Amino acid sequence: MGRLFLLALLVLGGCASPYQQTVDDYMGAYPLIDLGMSKEQVAGILVSSQKRLSTSEIKQPDRYMKDGVAVDIVYYRSGWQSDGITTDDEFTPYLFNDNKLVAIGWHSIGGAKSQGQATNTTYNSSSSTVIVY
């Protein structure tokens, strides 16, 4: 009986989504982040939480100049919906001005452009997915 329980734990433990594991790792790391940190300091804390993601599952950073200030927005996966779509609300943006962390979260850049839609409806191949902008 004990061996069966151990086997069940191993099987069920191996079924965890890499997305959920990434979110769990992020949730453990993000409290260590403080405004004023450099981009390298933030990356040193959060990058390891994203290690399970492939290149195509990482939201690419934004970079531009505004009023002589170098602006970088780096996104870290911080949420996950098992709806089959990757949307902005599954990431948290970190806003850097001249390499210094000045804001965290979508409120600082006007909100997420796409959001997952929770539903109880089963979609078939003729249905369409609605993404709210």
Asked, for residue 124, whether it belongs to a domain, the answer is no
For residue 125, is it within any domain? Answer: no
Give tens-digit pLDDT for 100-109. Answer: 999 999 998 9
Separation CA 109–CA 130 (nearest Å): 23
Q: Is 50 exceeded by the pLDDT of residue 129?
A: no
In angstroms, the CA 49 to CA 33 distance is 13
- φ and ψ at 62, to 5 degrees? -110, 145
Confirm whether 8 is domain-assigned: no
> 49: closest CA among 84, 25, 33, 68?
25
Mean pLDDT of the chain: 82
Structural domain that includes position 89: 17-109
C-alpha–C-alpha distance, residues 72 and 95, integer Å = 6
**38: which 2 tokens?**
């450099």
Asked whether residue 102 is assigned to any structural domain, the reply reads yes
119 located within any domain = no
> Rounded to the nearest 5°, which phi and psi values hold at 122?
-90, 125
In a domain, 131, yes or no: no
pLDDT at 87: 86
How many domains is the chain built from?
1
Instruction: Please tell me what DSSP assigns to residue 102.
Output: E
For every residue of 33-100, DSSP letters joined together read: --TT-BHHHHHHHHGGGGTT--GGGSPPPEEEEETTEEEEEEEEE----TTS---GGGEEEEEEETTE
In a domain, residue 101? The reply is yes
For the record, the structure tokens of 125 come out as 């191949």
pLDDT in tens, 1-32: 555 544 444 444 556 788 999 999 999 999 99
Specify the CATH number for the domain of residue 42.
3.30.1450.10
